[in-house]
Structure 1
C-alpha cells in the first residue's frame, strides 16, 4: 500500500496591523501553547506593566484594557481614571511566575513551551480566569485565549484588568480598605483586599486560605515575607507575600527589578482592625470587614510612559509561512508521519497564532504559538515558531482523504495560512495495480 500526501501552504489575505504540574483540563489541552520569552532583565515585561498600570498598553480594548477604577465610601462610589500601582503589579507578577512567560527550560530571548500551572494559570500573571476550558468555536481555544497564553503584553494587560475587577468588586462583593481616605487607589495599602482576591478571596476552611487571621498562619504579627525563597509560602496569606516582594525585589544585572516599596499591612494589634478582620466577619458580602488605610500609607504616582510603548511592545506583526509545499510518502497505515511548517513574523512585535485542523487524522502541535519580529530581542537570531503537523494514517477515512490546517493570528489582522492535505492510496499486494 502506498500513499502520497501532499501538503501545500499558501498565504491568503495577509494584512498587518498596528517544570510544573498540569491541571486535568485547560484551554489548550492536551498540548501546550508556545510563548515568546523576552530578556532576562525583564525590561520589556516591566515596561509593559508600567503601561498596563495606566491603561497605555492595550487602550480601548474592552477585554484587555484597564477599566475606570472606583473610589469613595461604601455608599458613594464613583469612577476614576484607570490606575493600578505599578510596583504592586510587578510584585504580583514575580510571585506568580518570577516574571516569565515560558517554562524554566526555555532560554530567554527565544520561543518555547509556555508556562501553564497545575490550575491552568498562564504566563507572567498566571491568568486562570477564562483559561480553564476552550472558549472558541468547535470546542477550540479562542483568539483571546491564544493571546493571553503566548504574548506577554496581552497576558500582562489581562492580569491587570482582572486585578482591577477585583478592586471594583467592592462594595457589592468585597470589603473596602481606606474608609478614611476615600478608598484612594493611588494609596497602595488600599489594594489589600483586591490583591487578596486576585489569588482567591478565601478564608478558614478553604483548601487554600488567604485570611490573615486564619490559625494555620500562626499568631500575628508574622516575620515579614522576604521574597528570597527561604520561607514557606504556605505559612503566609497571599497578600502578605506580595507585600513582602514589593519591599524586597529580586535583582538582575546588579540592580533591583523595581524600586522597593515598604507598604503597610493591616495592624491586627489595633482592636478595630482585629475585629473587622475576625473570621466571624468573613461572610458575604463582607460589609463588616471594611478597614481604614493601614499606616504609614504610601501614595504612588503614575509612571512616565513613552509615547511609543504600544508600538514597541505590541507592534505590527505580519504573518508569513516559510514553507509553501511539502510532500510526505506513506508506505503503510502503521507509520505516523509529520511535516514541519515554520511560522515567521516579518513585521514588528510578537505575532501570536493558532492552528486548527479540520480532521482528526491531522494533529497540530503546538496548538498556538508566537514569533518575534523586529524590535524584540532574540538570542538565536530567528525567534520563529515551528508548527508540526502529524498525520495519523490509522485515522484516514478512505483511500483518498483531504483536510485543512488553518493558522490564524489574533494579533496579525486577518492573516491566515491554509494547508491543504490530500492522500491517494494504492491498495493491493506489492507490484499489483488497484482495480479501476
Structure 2
C-alpha cells in the first residue's frame, strides 16, 4: 500500500527539491472510480504519501464518482472559473476537453529531456488516445484492456484443459457449451460466458471488432466505420452467443454485476477490465485464470481507462507542482504498487522491471496478460461529440442484443446517426 511506500534516494532528492520550489502550493485533484475494490482509498493514501515527503504541497483529492460524473463536475467547475489543477479522466474524452479549451498539453510545460525520457517512456498504445496534433494531452495512469477471466476449476470439472482457455471465437462457443450447466428441467445453473452489455458496451464490442480486423473510428475522431461488414459480423457473433448458441444469458448484462457473477460461480468465463484483477484475486474462492480475448481473424483488444489531465487556468508554480506530483505517481515504484493494488496495467516498461513488479508477476502471472495484449491493442473508441456518438453505438448494440433490430440494421442506423453528427468536423 502507498502508506508503506519507501522512496528511493532519487525520489527523495526530487521531493526535497520540490519542497523548496513549490512552497505553500495547494492543488485540487478530481478522480473517478470505475472498478471494484478500494481505488478511492488507494488514491488518498497515494496523495498522503506524497504530501508527507513534499512539505509545502497540499493535494486535495476529491472522489467525483464515475468517469462520466467526474467529467460533468470538471466541466461545470471549469466553466465556472474554478477548475481543479489535475483530474483523472477517461482518455477517450480528449476531443471534448480540447473543444472546451480546459486542458493543457503536457509538452508545453516540459523540457525536451522530460518529453523524451518521461512521456516517451509510456507505451505507445496507451498514449494513442490522447496524442493529438503531435502533442500529449493525457498521461496514462489507470489504464486497462479487457481480458478474459476463467474459472479453472469449472474447466477441469467438465473435462476442459484449464491451461488452454478459448483462443478463438469458435473455441469460445465450443467451451461455452461445455461450461453451461443446466438442471434436469433445463434451467441454467451456470452460464458458460458473460460479456457485459451495459456500462461500457462499446468497449467490449471493440474486443470483437478488433479481433475481426477492423477499427471503429479514424485517429482524427471525425469518422466512424460502424456499417463495415466486419463490424456487422462481430455484432452478429455477439448476438448469437445467447440467441443461437445459448452459452450466455440473454438480454442486457450489467457491467458492475459481472465480477460478482464470476466470483459467485454463476458464470465460468467473464470479460471485464484487467482493473478488476485485484478485486477478483482478493475474493475468488476458486482457482482462476486470465487470458487474452479470443481471436477471429487476428488478436485484438481496445485499451481503456483514465489519464492524468492538466487543467488550464493556473499559475506556473501550481502547474509545475501538479506536473511533479504526476511524475512521482507514475515513477516505477509508485506505479508498480498502484498496479498491484488495483489490477490496472502498469503503463511504462520500466515499471515492469522493478523488483516489486517482477515478484508480483511471478506470483500473479495473470497480470502479464494485459501487458502482453498491448501488442495487439487498438485505441479505445473516441470521436468528436464522443458521448453522443458513443451513445448511438451503445443504443444500437443493445437494440440488436434484445432483438429490436438485426445487427446489420443496427449498425446501418448507427452509421447514419453518427455521420450526421460528425459531418461538421470533417
Is TM (by shorter chain) over 0.5?
no
Higher fraction of strand: 1
- Computing the radius of gyration from Cα coordinates, the structure with the larger value is 1
TM-score tier, shorter chain, comes to under 0.3
TM-score norm. by structure 2 comes to 0.21
Structure with the largest fraction of helix: 2
